[in-house]
Structure 1
Amino acid sequence: MKGLADILLLGDERLYQNCTPLTPKDSTLITKMTRDLHNALVEFRGKYQTGRAIAAPQLGYMKRLVYMFADDRSTIFINPEIIERSDETMELWDDCMSLPNLLVKLQRHRQIRLRFYDESWQRQEWVLTDDLSELLQHEIDHLDGVLCTMRAIDARAFRWKPTPNLSLE
């Protein structure tokens, strides 16, 4: 099973590649990817106290799948695509499991309309705003080989974020 140690880090060429779509015939692979993505996300949270979603290519699966685990509920986005973006944007400090100690200042659309398939291969269409809009834009960028560093607002839009002190006292 894959986990935290398998998350690809900044500089790995696979992070810059476009991912291929999944089909219903990929059900066994989807189950394996989902299990591995969940495990990596939980382990990442344990170390860094952050993380809500992870994209398949971050574990070397070059497939169009995003796994989100928030509020003790998992959501799988198969072949997600943004079909509409709001004109209104927001500026924020973005972080990423593939560059765990780096924050990048960038702009994202405040609202998106997302189309995807769920784990039952039912087509879904959601409108996401604010933090969920930002999150899914970030993860879909991964599926397209785009890292948040490539969206930095300028050359000074980077900040170091130390690993949390995990004292057991």
Structure 2
Amino acid sequence: MAKVLAVAELGNPVLRSPAHPIQNIQAPAIQKLIDNLIKTTAKANGVGIAAPQVSESLRLFVVASRPNLRYLHAPVMEPTPMINPQIMAYSDEQVEGWEGCLSVPGLRGKVKRSKEIEIVYTDRHGEQQQKVFTDFVARIIQHEYDHINGKVFLDRVESTLDLMSEAEYHSQIVCG
């Protein structure tokens, strides 16, 4: 049975180290980690989570977009584990948007991301996938991809003027 895992927060060295490739996708520990990541994301009102965020230095993340308290207008998609992913192409068009992070609680930052990406990854069944994603889901993937490369969204914020508390974000941006 899946369980909610503790989320590593900013300052934990696992968040600043590139993660290691997964060799045996079918290993019970990897399959259990995927289930735990899905459950942890849902419980925390996230739209994605990377293995390093639960102190596992592995090239794995889950994209699980759906409307919730933190992202009211997120599109609905099935939770999608992406193992050993590689972004193959980024669109030239970039879009600025507010991001939060389960590992950086209480803070939002304005970040430019490519509007469209093409990614290759292995799914939880060991099958190679190659897909194009746009808009909010492309943003989630780029955010989680940063995590497996030892980066957090704060590294992409251009100015401290582009930061705000989660509470201010909800009062100004979401409800304003």
- Answer yes or no: is the 8 Å Cα contact 1:24–1:121 preserved in 2: no
Amino acid corresponding to residue 15 of structure 2 in structure 1? L
- Superposed CA offset, 1:107-134 (max 9, x none): 0001110000011111110011111111
Taking the TM superposition and a 5 Å limit, the aligned residue runs for 1:24-103 are 24=24, 27-45=27-45, 51-70=46-65, 71=76, 73-103=78-108
Taking the TM superposition and a 5 Å limit, the aligned residue runs for 1:109-120 are 109-120=114-125
Helix, strand or coil: the match of 2:64? strand
For 1:160, the equivalent position in structure 2 comes to 165
Identical residues among aligned pairs (%): 29
For 2:156, the equivalent position in structure 1 comes to 151
* Structure 2 residue ranges without an equivalent (≥5): 66-75, 171-176
TM-score of the pair, normalised by structure 2: 0.83
C-alpha change, 1:62 and 1:88, in structure 2 (3 Å) is: same
* Structure 1 residue ranges without an equivalent (≥5): 46-50, 165-169
Amino acid corresponding to residue 141 of structure 1 in structure 2? D
Post-superposition offset of 1:2: 5.1
TM-score of the pair, normalised by structure 1: 0.86
- Answer yes or no: is the 8 Å Cα contact 1:2–1:59 preserved in 2: no
Helix, strand or coil: the match of 1:24? coil
- Superposed CA offset, 1:13-45 (max 9, x none): 110010000123652221121122122112212
Amino acid corresponding to residue 104 of structure 1 in structure 2? G
Post-superposition offset of 1:145: 0.4
CA RMSD of aligned residues (A): 1.8
- Answer yes or no: is the 8 Å Cα contact 1:110–1:129 preserved in 2: yes
Aligned length: 158
